[in-house]
Structure 1
Amino acid sequence: MSTHWDPPPPLIILILALLNGSSSFAAPSDVSETNYTDTLPLRPSGRMYKMLELYSDDDYDPNWDTNPPPPSPSRGTNLQSCDYDPCRELQTPCAQLAASSGCLCPGVSGPQVAPEPPDLKRLSMEGSEMVIQWCAPSSVVTHYEVVVGALEPLVFGEDQRSGVVREVGQGVEVCVVAVNDAGFSERQRRSCTMYEPPGDSSLALKAGLIGGALGLLLLLSLAVLLWRHRALRKADARITQATEETL
């Protein structure tokens, strides 16, 4: 910015008007008849002050209070999805990952809404224990309950995705339920299953042997029937030929 400032013509005219107004005073006659408003110098209005401020600084922006500068983006923002797997057990909640790294979490319903049903992945025997595995829903969950038939539910933490169940009989329904302060998730096909124990390998082998033996007997019976049918046809043909030769 240059140090020498040339006032524009409108400012010169304004200054001359101010000087002309300040030189006009009332004559000192009678104090009681004096109009104090006439003896005071002419003062510029608010609009004039704004004009003076406008011309006094070339860098003045009259819209500085109505157009604030846009906020600068955060340096720690990460527009990638968080490393969060709803089926992984004992992992850091996605909300904490988003708060620490700025990553993005999948849509999650709030704590004021009952959770969506979890996804029951597997119910299987592992050694001598019955293990159930599930995946978390897109909801706020405080804990999980695994219900086996009419037994008391088994409670598991919000970061757990598997647990050991007991006393599961054949044909008993097993469900995993998500819970928060708003209520319980509904029991649906995705979160429940009917337990069917794996079959005994020796019984399966016996059933296979019995089935194979029955099949073999059936084939032999069919072969005998076919042989007898052919033998009867040959016998009938011989009798017919012998009768014709006699005649």
Structure 2
Amino acid sequence: MASCRDRPFLQVIICLLLIRGSSPLPTTSDENPTGPLRPRGFSDEDLTSEDYNVFELTTSEPRKSLLPVTVKPTKCNYNPCLESQIPCANLSVSTGCLCRGATLHNEAPEAPDLKSVSWNGSEVVIQWCAPYSYVTLYAVTVGGKERQKFGKDQRGGALGDIENVAKVCVVAVNDAGSSEESCMMFQPRDSSLPLKAGLIGGALGFLLLLLLAVLLWRHRRQRKQEASISLHNTAETH
């Protein structure tokens, strides 16, 4: 190549043309690492833009759709009329069950539900159901006067003897105040009934004894008369 420098201008041009002709021409390759992915054996002219989209979709992994699993909540197994139960709020936290809406500690509680006021043979007892509220204690009044207080977990108790007809009420209490009253009228037992029953029983017993005494007297009198007649007949025959 260095000999080309000493030749005339025309020969330099010819030499340059020969050098140009000896250089390899750029060739095309079917493999294009930077281009879109296509099947082997197809050229760019054979594939359209839609073909590329279809090919790309078929080679991508399908996405898995995760549907949320829904669990139907259940009501808490809580009976407001029973004593010594786990609070419904605690059951909800531990099991995920649902509680009925309840008033909070900064609100006066709702009224309890008084179920019964009865005589159990020795004293008056009452039963109630708790409200869905925050409660610190229950207060019971008889005839408008406070008679007894019970703990927040209690649902009944004894009031002693109530001699006259009286209105018995129970209220729920917390730091914010007291609920409305839940009341029932109590009709005391008839204290004269046992006395009447005793008098009637005594009278019947006395009459029965009197009747037995009369029958026994008549029986003895009849035997004496029969013995006297028998002796009289025996004397006449002799």
TM-score (norm 1): 0.48
Question: Radius of gyration: which is bigger?
Answer: 2
